[in-house]
Amino acid sequence: MALKNAKIITVTSVKGGTGKSNLVLTLASEFSSRGKKVLIADFDLYTGAIAMLLKVDNSGNIFNFAADLMSNTFDDARDYIKKYNDLVDVLPAPRDPRSISKIDVKYIDLLIKKLIHLYDIILIDTNHMVDAVKLVSMDLSNQILYVMTNDIVNMRNMKTMVSIYKDMDKDNFSIILNSALGNLSYNKYDVRNVIGTDVDYVLPKRTYNRNIQKNILEGLLPEATKNDEVIKKIVDDLLN
Ligand SMILES: Nc1ncnc2c1ncn2[C@@H]1O[C@H](COP(=O)(O)OP(=O)(O)O)[C@@H](O)[C@H]1O
Ligand SMILES: [Mg+2]
Domain ranges for the chain, please list them: 7-239
Lowest mean pLDDT across 33-37, 84-88, 102-106, 147-151: 102-106
pLDDT in tens, 60-109: 888 899 899 989 999 999 999 999 999 999 999 998 888 888 888 999 99
- Alpha helices per DSSP H over the chain: 20-33, 50-53, 62-70, 106-115, 132-140, 152-167, 188-195, 212-218, 229-239
Q: Supply the DSSP symbol for 92.
A: P
Q: Supply the DSSP symbol for 117.
A: G
pLDDT in tens, 188-201: 999 999 999 999 99
Under CATH, what is the fold of the domain 7-239? Rossmann fold (3.40.50)
- Report the relative pairing of strands 7-12 and 82-83 from DSSP bridges: unpaired
Q: Ligand 2: distance of its center to the CA of 21 in Å?
A: 4
Pocket test for ligand 1, best of 26, 126, 181, 213 (most atoms within 8 A of CB): 181
Question: Which residue's CA is the closest to the ligand 1 atom numbered 11?
Answer: 19
Q: For the chain, what is the mean pLDDT?
A: 94
- The angle formed by the CA atoms of residues 117, 125 and 206, to the nearest 5 degrees, is 120
